[in-house]
Amino acid sequence: MTVTEAPATNADAPAAGHHPRRRWALLAAGLLAALALPWFVYPPVAMDIVAMALFAIALDILLGYTGLLSFGHAAFWGSSAYVTGLIATHYGVPFPLAIVGGAVFAMILALPLGYLSVRRSGIYFAMVTLAFAQLVYFVGYQWSDLTGGENGLQGVPRAFFGLELVETNSFYFYYAALPILLLGMWAAWRIVHSPFGRVLVSIRDNSQRARALGYEVEKYKVVAFVLSAGLTGLAGGVFAINHGFVALTELHWSTSGEVVLMTVLGGIGTLWGGILGAFLVVMLADYLASSGFHGIDLVTGSVFVVVVLLFRRGIWGTVRHRWRDRR
């Protein structure tokens, strides 16, 4: 499998054409926003925003850069959350190590699922991933001795190299866990801007042409699937430690649908769109929940419909496209 001579595509031109100064300015602004977020938003909610942002970015590696719509990523998000919680609870290791363990488990789980799923494309791929995710959900439901079943996995500790960051220390936990998520985002950026990422874009645009040029399309898709699952696992592990609890709904298909909504809302194929989409959805849900409103899904769905109608490329994607047109 060769990755050094990727075919050129039009989709690569915008990424390659970024002015270095603007890129670094944007990265600096994003980093400052991440560092300042818990000063303006309740720290556990701020942690959820960043975790869901990495979740959306991980999905975008498949959806935006490989052209594969997965409705099964809740399996990797939830399974990593459970494994992270179990490692932290039963072995008492520092939570970063527990999170890495959950991410590794997600990648191991993704390998056979990806190998079987990538043989299909389009809606068939989406349905296969959904079926696998529901299978994992029912395993979690039935294996109640390990997962807690409907009651979930409770009492997940926040051990951090001899310190116990209890719930009252959510502010400090945010800064302790933030580097893990930022490292995951950096890894995603490196993936999509590497020769490997350019091959993924060429597969998305014309898989038959990529195959004719000698690229083993299925292998590339499997690798992208596993990498996406690993980044999803990092986010899911942080989410579990942040809440100290893992609910069965983390494995449900609705969690996959929520992250697809975030990715499309912000703009697929942009990475920054996933961050923006996660911020909007999590903040909207938190605001409605704190207001006592019970129709959160109704409002979120309505916002999604409006954005799709007005911003065909997503919010971030549309703004970026119009900015480039003006220039």
Rounded Cα distance between 135 and 120, Å, is 18
The tokens of 221 are what?
């898709």
How would residue 162 be classed by pLDDT, with cut points 50, 70 and 90? low
How would residue 164 be classed by pLDDT, with cut points 50, 70 and 90? low
Instruction: Answer yes or no: are the C-beta atoms of 225 and 76 closer than 8 Å.
Output: no
For residue 222, give the amino acid letter.
Answer: V
Q: Is the pLDDT score of 293 beyond 80?
A: no
Radius of gyration of the chain (CA): 19
pLDDT of residue 10: 38
Buried b / exposed e across 143-157, counting CB within 10 Å, b at 16+? eeeebbeeebbeebb
Task: Give 127-152 pLDDT, tens digit per residue.
Answer: 999 999 999 999 988 888 888 888 88
Burial of 123 (0-12, 13-18, 19+ CB in 10 A): exposed
pLDDT of residue 147: 86
Instruction: Answer yes or no: are the C-beta atoms of 235 and 55 closer than 8 Å.
Output: yes
pLDDT of residue 187: 95
Task: Give 20-41 pLDDT, tens digit per residue.
Answer: 777 788 888 889 999 999 999 9
Task: Give 191-222 pLDDT, tens digit per residue.
Answer: 999 999 999 999 999 888 999 988 999 999 99
pLDDT of residue 165: 62
pLDDT of residue 83: 95
In the predicted model, what is the mean pLDDT of residues 88-109?
92
Burial of 89 (0-12, 13-18, 19+ CB in 10 A): middle
pTM of the predicted structure, to 2 decimals: 0.89
pLDDT of residue 19: 66
